[in-house]
Amino acid sequence: MKLISWIELPNLGDHRGSLVVVEANKSLPFEIKRLYYIFDSKPDTPRGFHAHHKLTQVAFCIQGKFKMVMDDGNEKQEVILDEPNKGLVIPSMVWHEMHDFSEDCIILVLADDYYNESDYIRNYDDFIKTLG
C-alpha cells in the first residue's frame, strides 16, 4: 500500500487572485458526501487519533500548515500540509494524527460518505487488531 498519496488541484487564478476548484468524480476519485473544516486548533494540542473502516477522505490545508502522521500498521510517515491546492488522501484503515498547527491553520476535509460513528476506530490497539 502506498501510504502517502496526494491530489493536486490546478490554480485557475489570474492577476486578481487564486482560484481552486474541486469537482466530485473528476478532480477527486469519489462523490463528496460530507465536507468539514477545522480551525482555531491549538498548536500544542494534537487531533485525529483514529482510523476508519471504510471512509476515504482528502484533507487540504487551505491556510497555514500542520503535520499529519499516517500509519498503516506497518509503516508510519509524517508529512506537512501547507499548500492550499494539494490534498492528502486519507484512505480507509489508515490511522491518522494531526500535530503542530500554525495559529492560522484552516483544514478542509472532503469525505466519500456521511458521518457514521460505527466506522471509526478510536483505539490504536483495536486498529492493529482489526488489521489482523
**CATH number, domain with residue 82:** 2.60.120.10
What pLDDT score does 3 carry?
A: 83
Count of structural domains, the chain: 1
More confident residue, 121 or 3: 121
What pLDDT band is residue 2 in, cutting at 50, 70 and 90? confident
With beta carbons less than 8 A apart as the criterion, state whether 51 and 1 touch. no
Q: Known catalytic residues?
A: 50
Q: Is residue 1 part of a domain?
A: no
Q: Is 115 a member of any domain? A: yes
Q: Is residue 27, in this structure, part of any structural domain at all?
A: yes
Expressed as residue numbers, the domain containing 72 is: 6-11+20-131
Which residues, 6+ apart, have CB-to-CB distance to 92 below 8 Å?
51, 52, 53, 54, 55, 56
- On whether residue 72 sits in a domain, the answer given is yes
